[in-house]
């Protein structure tokens, strides 16, 4: 930019660079990929519309599991494994302890653009849990079977503590016929 008056043109100002864009579009909530008793892996798709500026990275936020919507940035503020990683679509949250198993956590992401703008994703509620314990089985032959073609398998359903935070949806049985 330069100013002009009756005597002529003044000195040019320094160059100022700016971005002409709008906020990125709202995007879908992250989804659970897997979890253990102390970690939660999530993945997401970026916003469909960037608003005209390049996305420079993300931040993952998670509540404290009490339903109070008290959110903090996951892992640590400005986590370099997530921040400044524009192509990232998966992250592992490691801020849990054993008492958190079975609790519901609300998770969302924020995008950041080269203009410094940000947009939040939808929120997801995810239960922290691990794979269930090993069921105990006690096989024996059905005494009423006369042809030897039936086998009765008994097992005790897992207790809620053996679910490891997630309800058991089904049991499956594999048999080796020898």
> Residue 58's beta-bridge partner residues?
111
pLDDT digits (tens, 9 = 90+) for 13-58: 888 776 678 888 889 999 999 888 888 899 999 998 888 888 888 9
Question: What residue segments make up the domains of the chain, in order of their start?
Answer: 31-127, 132-178
Q: How confident is the model at residue 166 (pLDDT cuts 50, 70, 90)?
A: confident
Q: Environment class of residue 60 by beta-carbon count within 10 Å: exposed (0-12), middle (13-18) or buried (19+)?
A: buried
* Mean pLDDT over the full length of the chain: 81
Q: Evaluate if residue 122 carries a pLDDT over 90.
A: yes
Q: Which H or E run contains 57?
A: strand 55-62
- Give 174 or 25, the one with higher predicted confidence: 25
Please provide the DSSP assignment of 117-162 as one string: -EEEBPPEEEE---PPPPPPEEEEE-TT-SSS--EEEEEPPPPGGG
Q: How high is the pLDDT of residue 107?
A: 93
- Please answer whether residues 164 and 135 qualify as being in contact, where contact means their C-beta atoms are separated by less than 8 angstroms: no
* Other CB atoms within 10 A of residue 165 CB: 19
Q: How far apart are CA 99 and CA 119, in angstroms?
A: 32
Q: How high is the pLDDT of residue 114?
A: 85
Q: What is the pTM of this model?
A: 0.70
> 31-127 maps to which CATH number?
2.60.40.10
């Amino acid at each position: 930019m330069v100013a002009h008056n009756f005597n002529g043109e003044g000195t040019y100002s320094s160059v100022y660079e700016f971005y002409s864009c709008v906020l990125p579009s709202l995007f879908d909530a992250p989804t659970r990929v897997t979890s253990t008793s102390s970690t939660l892996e999530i993945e997401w798709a970026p916003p469909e519309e960037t608003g005209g500026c390049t996305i420079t990275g993300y931040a993952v936020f998670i509540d404290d599991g009490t339903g109070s919507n008290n959110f903090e940035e996951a892992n640590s503020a400005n986590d370099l494994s997530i921040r400044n990683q524009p192509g990232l679509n998966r992250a592992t949250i490691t801020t849990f302890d054993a008492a958190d198993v079975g609790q519901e956590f609300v998770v969302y992401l924020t995008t950041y653009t080269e203009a410094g703008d940000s947009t939040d994703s939808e929120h997801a509620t995810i239960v922290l849990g691990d794979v269930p314990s090993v069921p105990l089985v006690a096989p024996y032959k059905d005494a009423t079977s006369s042809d030897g073609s039936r086998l009765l398998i008994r097992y005790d359903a897992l207790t809620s503590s053996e679910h490891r935070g997630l309800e058991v949806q089904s049991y499956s049985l594999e048999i080796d016929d020898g």
